[in-house]
């Protein structure tokens, strides 16, 4: 469920994986955000680290903290859509870089994807 690598701070990885879940609709717009304690126990992560990740999300506006009611995912669907797009761009960039290392040009890589998308 939660997968952490060794090379980056965990709070950054948490932030990324949470953004992913917001982008793909696991956490829906307007949903109440899970508590620090819940995520900490679920992910096996220090609560202070989780707190830091939450702070990052709040800073970017994806998550809004309402004083008494807790944290909620933004209802700004545009923002979420942009988030999803940005994540998708990262994947695309990754794909193109990897194909370039195999010797494919950008056009060739795009064509290859269209050709192969039926099989995969």
Partner 1 sequence: MSIIVEARDLTKHYGSDIAVDHLDLTLEKGQIIGLLGPNGSGKTTFIKMINGLLTPTSGMILINGEKPGVNSKKVISYLPERCALPDWMRINDLVKMYCDFFADFNKDKARTMLADLHLDEKKNYKTLSKGNREKVQLILCMAREAELYCLDEPIGGVDPAARDYILRTILQNYNEEAAVLISTHLIQDVESTLDRALFLKEGTLVLNDTVDNIREQRGKSVDALFREVFAC
Per CB under 8 A, residues contacting partner 1 are: 4, 6-11, 37, 40-41, 43-49, 52
Closest approach of Cβ 48 to partner 1, in Å? 5
Considering the complex, state which of residue 40 and residue 83 has its C-beta at the smaller distance from partner 1: 40
Whose structure tokens read 């992560």?
45
Distances (CA, A) of 58 to 76, 93, 103: 13, 27, 41
Annotate 30-60 with DSSP letters as a single string: TPBPPPHHHHHHHHT--HHHHHHHHHHHHHH
Closest approach of Cβ 87 to partner 1, in Å? 22
Closest approach of Cβ 39 to partner 1, in Å? 10
């Amino acid at each position: 469920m939660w997968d952490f690598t060794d090379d980056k701070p965990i709070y950054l990885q948490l932030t990324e994986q949470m953004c992913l879940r917001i982008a793909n609709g696991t956490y829906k717009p307007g949903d109440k955000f899970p508590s620090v304690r819940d995520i900490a126990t679920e992910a096996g992560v220090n609560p202070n680290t989780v707190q830091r990740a939450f702070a990052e999300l709040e800073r970017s506006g994806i998550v809004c903290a309402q004083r008494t009611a807790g944290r909620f995912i933004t209802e700004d669907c545009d923002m979420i859509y942009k988030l999803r797009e940005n994540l998708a761009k990262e994947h695309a960039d990754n794909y193109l870089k990897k194909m370039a290392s195999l010797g494919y040009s950008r056009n060739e890589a795009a064509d290859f994807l269209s050709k192969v998308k039926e099989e995969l």
